[in-house]
Amino acid sequence: MPFNLPKLDYNYNELEPHIDAKTMEIHYSKHHSGYVDKLNKAIAGTEYEENTLENLIQNYAKLPQTIAQAVRNNAGGHSNHTLFWTILSPKGGGNPNSDNLQFAINGAFGSIETFRERFSEKALSIFGSGWAWLCVDNNKNLTICSTPNQDSPITDGLKPILGLDVWEHAYYLNYQNRRPDYIKGFWNLVNWDKVSDYYSEAT
């Protein structure tokens, strides 16, 4: 099978109280695992088994119609969650601790507080299922955006460095309809070291 579920760097219960163990378990071992399985199934026996995940995501439009939607849903789901797990950490929260990323956030948004507000507003404003993102664009500028369902900013040529899953499966057990509280909790988990690494790689 070309694609595999990546290992988590923490246990299911280590993101508590902000993300509960049961949600983590279901989200990782059922939802994410399901995207990987369905992606592998969709491309099994086709030439696309040789493609990288990024290449698939950048080229949905060129895929045969019979597999295009399944690949879009599940390659996106695999890529989005793979990034998401890495930018969370039991030791996360606080502010970016790399000068480069701090400088870039201050330049793009004025301050880290304003960035957090604008990102949170974006995450809150998503209607239905989707993701909020902090991305690096072609001019190496930071930009906040959102995608519906499991669409990826990579399709639009952006490099995501921070993402927040606002599908109800990501928070409903613990927060029910209180998405604002989930978003507030998220900031306590952000692994800024990792986000800084992704920023450096993208710029």
Residues engaged in binding Mn ion (CB under 5 A) = 165, 167
**48 or 167: whose CB is closer to Mn ion?**
167
Min. distance of Cβ 87 from Mn ion in angstroms?
Answer: 13
Output the smallest distance, CB 84 to Mn ion, in A. Answer: 7
Nearer to Mn ion, 115 or 131 (CB): 131
Pick 109 or 186: Cβ nearer Mn ion: 186
Burial class for 157, CB neighbours closer than 10 Å (0-12, 13-18, 19+): exposed
Of all residues in the shown chain, the one whose CB is closest to Mn ion is 165
Nearer to Mn ion, 106 or 129 (CB): 129
For Mn ion, the closer CB: 151 or 165: 165
As measured in angstroms, the least distance from the Cβ of 11 to Mn ion is 18
CB of 81 to Mn ion, least distance (A): 6
Closest CB 167 distance from Mn ion, rounded Å: 5
